[in-house]
Amino acid sequence: MAAAVPTSKNGWTFRVTEVRISLTAGSVGGMPDEPAQEPEAPVEPVVEPVIDPMRTPPPTEPVDTGYTPSGVPTFESVREKIETRYGTAIGAAELDAETPEGRTIEEQYEARQRAAAERLAQIRESMRNPDSQ
């Protein structure tokens, strides 16, 4: 492992923590039988950022909990809850309409509406012609 070499770049402190060296074949374990035919690879230092303990992080914004410090829900949180419940109800109604049971109920409702409209038309017709009784 190489010695620590601090460098400065853009306000960050870096320290070399590892050096990788590539060895050629035949050069491991004492004197080589033949001279190396390839030149040695350059040393590649691995640089890792080091956090400066004296540097303070930027202040973070407080997390919005949806409640005031006294415990009262904010208007935004109430609006979000209402919109979520409304969206869930609309989605559930759409899914219910896609099932066979939902379609049967819808057909029954439409049949009752048609029967009611026909009966209302009969009542209106009878009120227009008092002589037809």
Alpha carbon distance 27, 10 (integer Å): 40
116: which 2 tokens? 């009611």
Residues ≥6 apart with Cβ < 8 Å to 32: 26
4-28: average pLDDT: 56
Yes or no: say if 48 and 81 are a contact pair by the CB < 8 Å rule: no
Q: Where are the alpha helices (DSSP H) in 50-99?
A: 75-98
> pLDDT confidence of 82, banded at 50, 70, 90?
very high
pTM for this model (two decimals): 0.37
| pLDDT confidence of residue 109 | 93
36 falls in which pLDDT band (50, 70, 90)?
low
β strands within the chain, DSSP E: 7-9, 12-20, 44-50
Is residue 9 scored above 90 in pLDDT? no
Q: What is the arithmetic mean of pLDDT over 55-62?
A: 76
- The phi-psi region of residue 10 (left if phi > 0; otherwise alpha if psi is between -120 and 50; otherwise beta) is left
